[in-house]
Amino acid sequence: MIIDVVKVFIPSTISFFFGILLSFLLSHFLYKYQMWKKQSGKKTMTGEETPIFNQLHKEREVGVPKMGGILIWASPLLTLGTLYLIALLFPSVNSDKLLFLSRNQTWIPFATLLLGGFVGLVDDYLEIKGSGDYVAGGLSLKKRLLIVTAISLLVAVWFYIKLESHSIGIPFYGALEIGWLFIPLFLMVALGIYSGGVIDGIDGLAGGIFAAIFSAYTGIAFYQQQVNLAAFCATLVGAILAFLWFNIPPARFYMSETGSMALTITLTVVAFMTDSVDGGHGVFVLPVIAMPLVLTSLSNVIQVLSKRFRKKKVFLVAPLHHHFEALGWPPYKVTMRYWVIGVVFAIIGLIFGLIG
């Protein structure tokens, strides 16, 4: 039991310090090569102007680098490499025990973390260079959604065929068999969580929310005795906290797509890994644990539908956190109140994830 606790917290701590050290090199590189948008402003998917958002963020859109999310996937990668090196140089039961990469628990989430990070990095680079096919540069939303769908489909099929996941865990009920519907459900959850990635819009906001979310799944995975998965989630939390150290107002750099795509796709995988595949219900509690992401995504949907059918807006600007900014809330107040809400719902979701 003690060694399992150590296995969770040591990689997390190593990941945090790697993130801090790596941030100095990353920051130097990003500022040296001016890896930020060269022109402020944002447009909607249909090419419409966003005057309220542009007014709120005109001074921060230019001059602050993107790609800070590299820390979020590079730190766990360096942590894993370090643990392998320790096990190689000092072979023992304890050093081997610290290695959290395993075929049955962490291969898939680690692969999606790196793959999502790479695709997001390409998108960030294209946006910075302004050479993409979208108004603001970068990959178009359609292409990003297709990529997320493709990755999620591969993972869903792996779950369905290799892990024989055909059901969803329901608290106080057990496993609900859904057969082949498992695959479209996985895709829906993945796309829904990915859409919530737009919460990366205010200094410190996304980092605090994702840290709370993955902390909750660390607890759920540990309770299910998926210690490797718990260590993986904790390692991610360590990396996110290192990123957050430099992202709190005023941000040194932004998470951007390389961080948000990596985290959102991986979150979906972790939720399903803690579901019926191990007798839990990690998917059922996902909307609770990730409530800030859900509300962010819903606010966009509500705004689009209202403008289309009612010809007027529900929010001053969407997503929801920018609406609060438009009401006059200072950005730091929006961020910290979101952190409070995020922690509260993460705890509630953790409780429901441990019962039933």
Stated pTM of the model: 0.93
Cα–Cα distance measured from residue 69 to residue 240, given in angstroms and rounded to the nearest whole number: 9
248 is written with which tokens? 């709190």
Residues β-bridged to residue 169: 175
Sign of CA pseudo-dihedral 60, 63, 67, 72: negative
Q: In this predicted structure, what is the pLDDT of residue 284?
A: 96
Contacts 24+ apart (CB under 8 A), 216-219: 216/289, 216/346, 216/347, 216/349, 216/350, 216/353, 217/267, 217/270, 217/271, 217/274, 217/282, 217/289, 218/8, 219/350, 219/353, 219/354
Interval 37-61: pLDDT, tens: 876 656 554 455 566 666 666 666 6
pLDDT single digits (tens) 244-303:
999 998 899 999 999 999 999 999 999 999 997 778 999 999 999 999 999 999 999 999
- pLDDT (0 to 100) of residue 43: 57
pLDDT score at 54: 62
CA distances from 57 to 133, 140, 322 (A): 23, 22, 10
Mean model confidence pLDDT for the chain: 90
Task: Dump pLDDT digits (tens) for 200-225.
Answer: 889 999 999 999 999 999 999 999 99
Task: Please report the pLDDT score of residue 90 as a whole number.
Answer: 84
**CA dist., res. 154 & res. 150, Å (int):** 6
* Lowest pLDDT segment from 89-93, 183-187, 265-269, 351-355: 89-93
Most confident of 88-97, 276-285, 336-345: 336-345
What was the pLDDT predicted at 53? 62
